[in-house]
Structure 1
Amino acid sequence: MNPSVLVLANLSDSAAQATRWAAVLGAPLQARLELLHLCSGPESDPEPATLAGIHAYNSQAETAQALEALGHQLAMPTGVTISQEPLAEAVATAVHQHHPLLLALGLSEEHTLLDHLMHNRALPALRATHRPLLLVPEDAPEPRLPRRVVIAVDAEPFQLNAAARALAPLMAAWHSSYTVVHVTAAPEPLALSSRMALADVRASHLLPPATSLVLQESHHPIPATGIVEALYGPRIDLLVLIARTRSFLGRLFHRSVTAQVLRHTPVPVLLLPAEAPEIPDWMPSMS
């Protein structure tokens, strides 16, 4: 059975962009797309008025047809599920049924909508599944297999959970080049902590042992800014961040480094959940 990618889909441009990226990234393993659309029901979290750009369809059947048409455009095996369950329950059900390698979600350019999506869609999805999550900005470049990937890390050790480690065959199939970016706000020399960060990435088993890793060190008073600046080098296609689960679930989104990165990233971001126990913040852990 081929693997799958689960996309939290609606009829917005941002969701369509996330679907296209999910299709391209999953193609090397012939991954099936599973599009999950959440209808606002009496117990589900209604989407805000700022999502009014979504086309008005009169029935769930028309919505399903529109999503199926998107899948046909991508020439990918595609399934569509329409659910009236609350998001966490709907995602958990879909994960149990399809066992996806990762989840995908589109991000709007509007900051208020970004906060809503993270609090009411992305965070519950990670709580429910602890699966890798691909977050695709609405204005991300046209999707292609990533040639250059940045992995942003700090000097704190981490261990990926089983779902994140299961993504290794897909990442190997991309045949990308990888740059490990270590950003710190502290003034001390970076050499030792950077070597530790590089060793943690190798020890994570996310990439094949023979993968060549380029280390890029950066000292910046605002860590998120240092990470985003690293994305404007020679065409970077994807950013990988480590989500330290306990703090990810308990800390306010707008206070984290990852939140700041998501507000300004020009490329999709792949969040990989770490095992507990964790350092009390997202990776990178400075806030």
Structure 2
Amino acid sequence: MPAPLLVLTDFTPAADAALAYADMLAARLQVPLVLLHVNRNSIFDPEAFTGAVAHRSEGEIAVALEERIGKLTVPAVPAMTTGRSTTAILEMVNQHRPALLVLGKPTPGDLPEELVTTTSLTLLRESHYPLLVVPASTVIKTPQCIALAADGNAFRLTTPAQSAQPLLQALQATLTVVHVAEPEDDDSCTAALHSVQAAGLLQDVATPVRTRGVRNLDIAKGIEQVAHTIHADLLVVIARRHSVLGRLFHRSITAQLIRQSQLPVLALPTAS
């Protein structure tokens, strides 16, 4: 059985948008879904990624899961667990070994952005699995243009994150490697393209790979600038280990992009 996509749901509109997006990707990849709800023990759980806790019985949760599964185009199984959010999610990741995790990002104002970002970075750091964060406003369609941000330094993906390569291959989208340089530096993408190729991300990708360099003191803004210019509908970022450490939270490019981007962000954790 192929590795599924593991979708986290709290039955909010943002989670439903993430599920619809995951359904579209799973159909393209021809893989199943696992729809996971974490029934938290306490409304004071600091790792929760919802604003208000809706108290549901196990029966109500089961019905809500089945209602959503009934609308999908790919096979899916429901899953429910209890506990602190990230700990419970990691236990289910170890059980199902998915190709990637999918998380919905609420509309700004519905939830503190740093709560979503902190949860995302914790999952990246502790699970080593790729994480797709889907904004609630995302239009559900197969990505046609992907921006892949790379800094030009060598990297090696974690073993679970290597599942991103078949995804890029299956989408058959236009792919642009994006490199952001400081204003006084060379904005050539040669090193960035080479690092992505060396990591195996472009292996067997049928469509031509483009490059785009830009100079900007704010790397996250530079990436978003290019993504907007090329009309990207999916952003892929390399989540280096140093960038997902809590003490570097406010300097993390991955954190900034997850927090600010209006595009779905696929974060790929590295082993080195």
TM-score (normalizing by structure 2) = 0.90
Deviation of 1:129 after TM superposition, in Å, equals 1.4
The alpha-carbon distance between structure 1 residues 31 and 90, as it changes in their structure 2 partners (threshold 3 A), is same
Choose which of 66, 72, 75 in structure 2 pairs with 1:74. Answer: 72
Match of 1:217 in 2: 213
The CA deviation string for residues 10-41 of structure 1, in whole angstroms up to 9 with x for no partner, is 11111111111111112122221111111121
Matches within 5 A, 1:77-96: 77-96=75-94
Is 1:241 matched up with 2:237? yes
Deviation of 1:204 after TM superposition, in Å, equals 1.3
The AA in structure 1 aligned to 2:168 is: M
Tell me the secondary structure at the aligned position of residue 51 of structure 1.
Answer: coil
The alpha-carbon distance between structure 1 residues 259 and 96, as it changes in their structure 2 partners (threshold 3 A), is closer
Match of 1:284 in 2: none
Moved more, 257-266 or 195-204: 257-266
The alpha-carbon distance between structure 1 residues 232 and 246, as it changes in their structure 2 partners (threshold 3 A), is closer
The CA deviation string for residues 111-168 of structure 1, in whole angstroms up to 9 with x for no partner, is 662211222x32332233110000111112x222211100011122211111111332
Taking the aligned partners of 1:245 and 1:265, their CA distance within structure 2 comes to 21
Aligned length: 270
Choose which of 193, 202, 205 in structure 1 pairs with 2:197. Answer: 202
Match of 2:165 in 1: 168
Match of 1:59 in 2: 57
Moved more, 196-205 or 43-52: 43-52
1:180/1:214 contact within 8 Å kept:
yes
The alpha-carbon distance between structure 1 residues 189 and 252, as it changes in their structure 2 partners (threshold 3 A), is closer
Unaligned runs of 5+ in 2: none
The AA in structure 1 aligned to 2:84 is: P
Choose which of 267, 279, 285 in structure 1 pairs with 2:263. Answer: 267
Taking the aligned partners of 1:275 and 1:101, their CA distance within structure 2 comes to 17
Moved more, 214-223 or 121-130: 121-130
Moved more, 83-92 or 151-160: 83-92
Tell me the secondary structure at the aligned position of residue 139 of structure 1.
Answer: coil
Taking the aligned partners of 1:48 and 1:87, their CA distance within structure 2 comes to 6
Deviation of 1:81 after TM superposition, in Å, equals 1.6
The alpha-carbon distance between structure 1 residues 51 and 186, as it changes in their structure 2 partners (threshold 3 A), is same
Unaligned runs of 5+ in 1: 277-287
Match of 1:279 in 2: none
Matches within 5 A, 1:23-62: 23-41=23-41, 45=45, 51-52=51-52, 56=54, 58-62=56-60
Match of 1:285 in 2: none
Matches within 5 A, 1:152-163: 152-163=149-160
Q: Provide the identity percentage.
A: 35
The CA deviation string for residues 192-238 of structure 1, in whole angstroms up to 9 with x for no partner, is xx201111111111122564211101001221111111222353220
Match of 2:21 in 1: 21
TM-score (normalizing by structure 1) = 0.85
Match of 2:228 in 1: 232
The alpha-carbon distance between structure 1 residues 205 and 154, as it changes in their structure 2 partners (threshold 3 A), is same
The alpha-carbon distance between structure 1 residues 167 and 47, as it changes in their structure 2 partners (threshold 3 A), is closer
1:160/1:273 contact within 8 Å kept:
yes
2:21/2:140 contact within 8 Å kept:
yes
The alpha-carbon distance between structure 1 residues 80 and 169, as it changes in their structure 2 partners (threshold 3 A), is same
Aligned CA RMSD, in angstroms, stands at 2.3
Taking the aligned partners of 1:61 and 1:78, their CA distance within structure 2 comes to 18
Taking the aligned partners of 2:29 and 2:257, their CA distance within structure 1 comes to 29
1:43/1:85 contact within 8 Å kept:
no
1:88/1:128 contact within 8 Å kept:
no
